[in-house]
Structure 1
Amino acid sequence: MTGPAPQRRRSASAPRILDPRAHRLDRVLGKANATKLEKGLGLRTVGALLNHFPRRYLERGELQSIAGLPIDEEVTLIAEVLSSSQRPMRNRRGSIVEVVITDRDALRPGTLTLSFFSGYQAFRDLQPGVTALFSGKVSVYRHQPTLTNPHYLLLEDDTTGEDLANRPIPVYPATATLTSWWVAQRVATVLAHLGITGDPDDAVRLPDVVPAGIAAREHLGDLVTAYRDIHAPAEVADAYRARHRFRYQEALILQTALARRRAEQQAQVAVGRPRRDDGLLADFDAVLPFTLTTGQREVGESLDAALSADHPMNALLQGEVGSGKTLVALRAMLQVVDAGGQAALLAPTEVLAAQHHASITSTLGPLAQAGMLGGAEHATRVVLLTGSMSTAARREALLAAASGEAGIVVGTHALLSETVQFAELGLVVVDEQHRFGVEQRDTLRTRAGVPPHLLVMTATPIPRTVAMTVFGDLGTLFLDGLPAGRAPIDTHIVPLTEHPVWRERIWQRAREEVDAGRQVYVVCPKIEGDGTGARAGGFDDGDGVELELATDDDGPDSKRAPLASVEDTAAALRRAPALAGVRIGELHGRLDPGDKVATMAAFHRGDLDVLVSTTVIEVGVDVARATLMVILDADRFGISQLHQLRGRVGRGGLPGTCLLVTSLEEGHPSRARLDAVASTTDGFRLAEEDLKLRREGDILGARQSGGRSTLKLLRVIEDEKIIVAARQDAQAIIEDDPGLTGHPVLAGAIDDYLDPEAEEWLDRG
């Protein structure tokens, strides 16, 4: 019996070539480990794990600062045990182990208490003087940050299988069950399997997304070295060089995807819709009771030229809250109707769709009464289509759209139904693009025989580099200035911890507005009050979708103060002496759609003085007499949400006031958001501040990109130069090779990044 043939050493001139996208993890790590990575982190292939980059690096001999740990986020830190104690639980069997760790900061020593339920092993391991890695989610207990049941790794008994004494320790994005160091072990196994951390002559050759000429120009180095340096750096400087390489690679993938999409759109043929000198638009402009702003006039001219072209317009219109975007969009719709086409306006909620329909119908007057007594010579019909309409009303609206009788069709997601047909769809207007995905905004466009023009509107100002990264397939139009008569909005923080007596003053201030004939919004983060069962912690996202807030009687969150809810707040205000006799209404996403529309209509008519609401009123709702907005627990909202919300007041020529009410102590990290909003009404400044304060990876979420939910390393504010360079390179690549036939690796990377289902092509054997 002969033994196996001796293995011949591969020469440097004939390296192994491996496509990590096609190499399944179970072949390298075994089925059990591969299953954990797929279920916990969504990683199926060697390439996916290689691209699961560390979020930061820890120096082995350096303890991590405890001050300023982010609440409600997973953290990993090195710290020393200061004390350890054990006590029985009050309400159940077992014990709680409390371990206090420290960062030994000489100037500002920080301590953090860790709680382990039935943590007998932790009590034995974590004795004073021990140094360890700790990983867990930061929560708050008795107003102090804490970690509950964190994972830990004793550094005196290193079990990572690698001598890290003089190397930085990578910290990976992890989960409650898959710790950073567990992920690091699997990454190390994969790197060794590929020869990346061994003899360079034995390392695989990896297909590179970045063309060789660009990599040389940008000094990016080779891909194998970059993977080694980002996952197992000899020093932190190596990791930073590798991160720069992968940032550029990520920017190139995204910008090439957008450039390809732009090229595909420009190659399509559309029906030009030039402006007529006589018709709906001319008649509308003639009866406008005000003069268009310079910004409205300039954007209108740009839209006129784009709509007249014989290829589809794809435009993003952005401007400040209240800058008059809807009027600009209406004039574009009238131009299309004049040219024989129809326009569809897609709104994110039924409340907003109904208001758009009412506003357009009222603004057009006789111009919206085609076929009716009193209708103008040049007139059309404006119809509404929502999911809650009666069968008869829906049938009538569908018939008006299909026959072409309705020149303008306003609707919600119901417009995307396959039952909706148009006679000649010429323009699709998408309001509040952040509520829709790429596929949704394209659904209507693919219904038409010839691609219609597209106008996307957003009232959330988008910094330039974000627009290039998220909406790079659209041409951007900026609407500057505010219409005449739009009043400024004063924003003030109301800190109840420092000034508890101000709570009563809030409602006295509301009464003053009501007595002056004005109206008030009160915004809450929740729908239901506490004590209503499992849904007591439900948050409303503005369209009836709730997010649960978990509680645990023995957990560190059990002492959290209850958040303001629509139901409890409305009930309390009806009992408040300061608001006696005031008409108070409630609005939230779980109301019946008809009730929502009726409530908003009553507030718009002035039949209600105070509207207690969730963020369903965040966008588009326009009530001229609303001058005061009170946002309770304002720290629970993001900067862009707060900016949008306060834009609902001061819309009728009267000054607006927004009160940001918070119970957080001064200096709390979440107070920084409120300080930013109170300091300026410049939406673009706030958008950049928002990116700095919150996790930026969600910028390119599924709602914008139509695919994976996070940027890995790219930072759209800090990496503007990289994004601009990658955009230029991507444009040049697509101009030379529109189908990317000469760039198969780049084409495959685009599919992987933007389409989670692209991995279905993997070998199933």
Structure 2
Amino acid sequence: MLGWRDERLLADVLPAKEAKALDKAFGYTTCMDLLQHFPRAWSRHGSDVLADDAAEGDMITCVGEVLSIQDFQRDKRTVTQVSLTDGRTRFTASFFNARYIQHYLRPGKRAMFSGKLRFFRNTPQLQHPDFLVLPGPGEKMAGSGSMKTIALYGEPDDLFAGLEYIPIYPATAGMASWRIMAAVKHVLDTLDPVAEPLGEAPEGMPGFDEALRGVHFPGPEGPEPHKERLKYDEALTLGLVMALRRLETLRRDAPPLTPVDDGHRAGLLAALPYELTEGQQQVITDITTDLDSGDPMSRLLQGEVGSGKTVVSLVAMLQAVDAGHQCAMLAPTEVLAVQHARTLTSLLADAGLNVSVVPLVGSMPVPVKRQALLDIVSGQADIVVGTHAIIQDTVEFFDLGLVVVDEQHRFGVEQRARLRSKGREGLTPHLLVMTATPIPRTIAMTVFGDLAVSTLRELPGGRRPIESVVVPEYKPTWVRRAITRIGQDVEAGRQAYVVCPRIDGPGGVLDLFEILGQGPFRDFHVGYLHGRMPADEKDLMMRRFASGEVQVLVSTTVIEVGVDVPNATVMLIRESELFGVSQLHQLRGRVGRGGHESLCIFHTFAEKGSDADQRIHAVAETSDGFALAELDLLHRQEGDVLGTSQSGAAKTVRLLNLLRDFPIIDRATSDATALVERHPLLAQRLVLEIDRVDREYLEKS
């Protein structure tokens, strides 16, 4: 946690059995680990607590009132079935050969139940759960499972004494919520008052010590003020890392790239055969000012597929070339790198500009790569376009002035930093990162908080909206009609994508390539593309599709980023429920790029009305990438949004909701900037105390 650590070992504070059980259940070894295991809900005065959003097979803990209880025989066993309500939903708890249950669970009693969720005829069930009867005034605690372990901490009845809110913790089969509660209470009882890490509590919020204790065991005020303070600290953590990164960047010098009135930049702008959108013009103005300032530019350019980011980036690169510097453009795949090189070369040739564009990718023949490296180090290459190959130590630039990173989410801070380190000694190249995946504003403030953000919302003229339809597998007539529609477009001279969620197996690329190529599309030229193909074969297939030789391309998501075939007008995404919201939007953007009417077909096996079905229909019903980015965030865990599950992101963001907590994030981001300006040493100390795994995650996010 920000500015505070409790490195005491659980083995030194808790009974040995409990410390070992917490390590086995959650991997917790220190007191801080346990105190950051926050409740998921709170039961006030034993009130009912729902198990919302739980799926079959999940371990759940809930509070419910006993409605009835009865015994019956099944397979020579006595089954005691307890009917319960959690306030809105009736559910059952079944116990086998446990007639003693009726002594504890009587109608009207409230109890906590912890067990694995099952469904029988749509009724939620818990089979042989652990339970703990919530004691009324003057009553003794009773229950199953963890009673003996609770007694290790003292008198079990003391656990609930005086509690207005009972915390309900995420639990496991071997570690019930009330067992966790007893351990947390013991650790807090042995914890000395914690000094305020920020010097003084943020205005209107409780102090850190009060919040840490109150989030587990709230008083009459409830858990919300304590949650808000801890959420603020999480947001401030991210804000400080980004503010310090901005400060570090501003302390460096960058080559001033002053625009030239009669240079290549002016020549390109004069030669463009179309008017730039207002958004493009504004972003170019902002970038021009940044590049001319002498401070290193760090700017994120986000815009829908086809919004004109490539032209904006070329204008910026030509400003660097005019000032006598080289540019590097980093792309996530060889297919995209080669395509970018061709696009830039074509734009420059059409404008009559003599600017050298050199591709550099891993699969290039050795002699070609050797010549490219020579051109780069000698300064003959003005613009270098490549994959990770240009980050390698063997690549040396003559005078690198600007780095452009396409599809920012495919690269980490670490990789950007390595490329920026290739500038002349003492100078840091400017940085422009681009993404076609719209970024919710809370994510832009946190994960990309070290970058100034520019947004292109308008699409260039001539682009038509893409029609989208959902085709469920349970309507075979619709599926056949979708295949027919693809055939009609191809017969009319257009091209089509069929996107698959896998390479092998039923519904995979190789499977559908055979089925479509030998069946409904046997009269068309069908090709396939996937990530396991050698780079030269992938490039050849994309060239054949771009030229129109291949009419239907069956592919994985390798076509998600940057593939530009204006003649492609129809796309079928098979099993679309397996893709994320933003990914579906990105894939859809591969069609409709040539001014023709276009269609995206979302095929799905999802059941009607299911969450997946609703999500797919939401994507089909809107083409607003920013609205879909918010929807994507709603359907994903914060840790998944900020990074991968292995990254430690879940440890950085435990309570903060990146969709709903904008006011907290906005305040913390502003406060972090002010704190770095006023007390940079305090800010650095606070950040240094972030867990090592979290620091690694933040550096790679």
Aligned 1:581-660 pairs, distance under 5 A = 581-660=523-602
1:517-548 deviation line (CA, Å, top 9, x unaligned): 11111112122105xxxxxxxxxxxxxxxxxx
- Distance apart, 1:630 and its partner CA: 1.0
Task: Tell me whether 1:51 sits opposite 2:36 in the alignment.
Answer: yes
Structure 2 length normalisation: TM-score? 0.85
Once the two structures are aligned, what percentage of the paired residues are identical? 42
Determine the structure 1 residue equivalent to 2:153. none
Moved more, 731-740 or 340-349: 731-740
**Amino acid of the structure 2 residue aligned with 1:569:** L
Q: Which residue of the other structure, out of 309, 332, 342, is the alignment partner of 1:348? A: 332
Task: Tell me whether 1:716 sits opposite 2:658 in the alignment.
Answer: yes
Task: Tell me whether 1:728 sits opposite 2:665 in the alignment.
Answer: no
- Distance apart, 1:509 and its partner CA: 0.7
- Distance apart, 1:482 and its partner CA: 0.7
Cα separation, 2, equivalents of 1:82 and 1:586: 61
Determine the structure 2 residue equivalent to 1:28. 13
- Distance apart, 1:473 and its partner CA: 0.9
Q: Which residue of the other structure, out of 378, 381, 399, is the alignment partner of 1:424? A: 399
Answer whether contact 2:283 2:454 (CA < 8 A) is retained.
yes
Answer whether contact 2:513 2:554 (CA < 8 A) is retained.
yes
Determine the structure 2 residue equivalent to 1:570. 513
Answer whether contact 1:639 1:673 (CA < 8 A) is retained.
yes
Task: Tell me whether 1:446 sits opposite 2:386 in the alignment.
Answer: no
Determine the structure 2 residue equivalent to 1:380. 355
Determine the structure 1 residue equivalent to 2:492. 516
- Distance apart, 1:625 and its partner CA: 0.7
Moved more, 127-136 or 386-395: 127-136
Q: 1:701 to 1:609 in 2, by over 3 A?
A: same
Q: Which residue of the other structure, out of 199, 206, 224, is the alignment partner of 1:221? A: 206
Answer whether contact 1:640 1:690 (CA < 8 A) is retained.
yes
Cα separation, 2, equivalents of 1:28 and 1:334: 64
Aligned 1:231-250 pairs, distance under 5 A = 231-234=216-219, 237-250=221-234
- Distance apart, 1:310 and its partner CA: 0.6
Cα separation, 1, equivalents of 2:20 and 2:694: 23
Q: 1:288 to 1:526 in 2, by over 3 A?
A: same
Cα separation, 1, equivalents of 2:542 and 2:99: 60
Q: 1:590 to 1:730 in 2, by over 3 A?
A: same
Q: Which residue of the other structure, out of 432, 450, 462, is the alignment partner of 1:473? A: 450
Cα separation, 2, equivalents of 1:750 and 1:638: 30
Cα separation, 2, equivalents of 1:567 and 1:692: 33
Report the 3-state secondary structure (helix = DSSP H, G, I; strand = E; otherwise coil) of the residue aligned with 1:238. Answer: coil
Cα separation, 1, equivalents of 2:560 and 2:656: 29
Cα separation, 2, equivalents of 1:626 and 1:109: 52
Determine the structure 1 residue equivalent to 2:194. 206
Cα separation, 2, equivalents of 1:123 and 1:753: 47
Task: Tell me whether 1:133 sits opposite 2:117 in the alignment.
Answer: no
Q: Which residue of the other structure, out of 154, 157, 160, is the alignment partner of 2:143? A: 157
Task: Tell me whether 1:393 sits opposite 2:368 in the alignment.
Answer: yes
Q: 1:243 to 1:359 in 2, by over 3 A?
A: same
- Distance apart, 1:702 and its partner CA: 5.8
1:534-580 deviation line (CA, Å, top 9, x unaligned): xxxxxxxxxxxxxxxxxxxxxxxxxxxxxx3222222221232x323
Report the 3-state secondary structure (helix = DSSP H, G, I; strand = E; otherwise coil) of the residue aligned with 1:211. Answer: coil
How many positions carry a matched residue from both structures?
667
Cα separation, 1, equivalents of 2:412 and 2:636: 21
Answer whether contact 2:40 2:169 (CA < 8 A) is retained.
yes
Report the 3-state secondary structure (helix = DSSP H, G, I; strand = E; otherwise coil) of the residue aligned with 1:522. Answer: strand
Determine the structure 1 residue equivalent to 2:388. 413
Task: Tell me whether 1:295 sits opposite 2:270 in the alignment.
Answer: no
Aligned 1:1-150 pairs, distance under 5 A = 20-29=5-14, 41=26, 43-58=28-43, 61=46, 65=50, 69-70=54-55, 75-78=60-63, 104=85, 109=90, 133-136=113-116
Q: 1:635 to 1:249 in 2, by over 3 A?
A: same
Specify every segment of 5 or more residues in structure 2 that has no aligned partner in the other structure, as ranges: 134-141, 151-155
Determine the structure 1 residue equivalent to 2:136. none
Answer whether contact 1:66 1:102 (CA < 8 A) is retained.
no
Cα separation, 1, equivalents of 2:392 and 2:489: 43
Q: 1:669 to 1:330 in 2, by over 3 A?
A: same
Structure 1 length normalisation: TM-score? 0.78
- Distance apart, 1:150 and its partner CA: 9.4
Determine the structure 2 residue equivalent to 1:12. none
- Aligned-pair Cα RMSD in Å: 3.6
- Distance apart, 1:71 and its partner CA: 6.7
Cα separation, 2, equivalents of 1:44 and 1:286: 65
- Distance apart, 1:56 and its partner CA: 2.5
Cα separation, 1, equivalents of 2:15 and 2:372: 58
**Amino acid of the structure 1 residue aligned with 2:365:** S
Aligned 1:420-569 pairs, distance under 5 A = 420-448=395-423, 449=425, 450-497=427-474, 499-530=475-506, 564-569=507-512
Cα separation, 2, equivalents of 1:529 and 1:85: 47
Answer whether contact 2:77 2:97 (CA < 8 A) is retained.
no
Cα separation, 1, equivalents of 2:525 and 2:209: 68
Q: 1:733 to 1:522 in 2, by over 3 A?
A: same
Answer whether contact 1:209 1:249 (CA < 8 A) is retained.
no
Q: 1:307 to 1:756 in 2, by over 3 A?
A: closer
Answer whether contact 2:436 2:586 (CA < 8 A) is retained.
yes
Answer whether contact 2:13 2:187 (CA < 8 A) is retained.
yes
Cα separation, 2, equivalents of 1:515 and 1:319: 33
Report the 3-state secondary structure (helix = DSSP H, G, I; strand = E; otherwise coil) of the residue aligned with 2:602. Answer: strand
- Distance apart, 1:35 and its partner CA: 6.6
Aligned 1:634-713 pairs, distance under 5 A = 634-701=576-643, 710-713=652-655
**Amino acid of the structure 2 residue aligned with 1:325:** K
- Distance apart, 1:407 and its partner CA: 1.2
Determine the structure 2 residue equivalent to 1:360. 344
Q: 1:179 to 1:446 in 2, by over 3 A?
A: farther
Cα separation, 2, equivalents of 1:260 and 1:209: 18
Cα separation, 1, equivalents of 2:277 and 2:599: 24
Cα separation, 1, equivalents of 2:496 and 2:688: 53
- Distance apart, 1:732 and its partner CA: 1.7
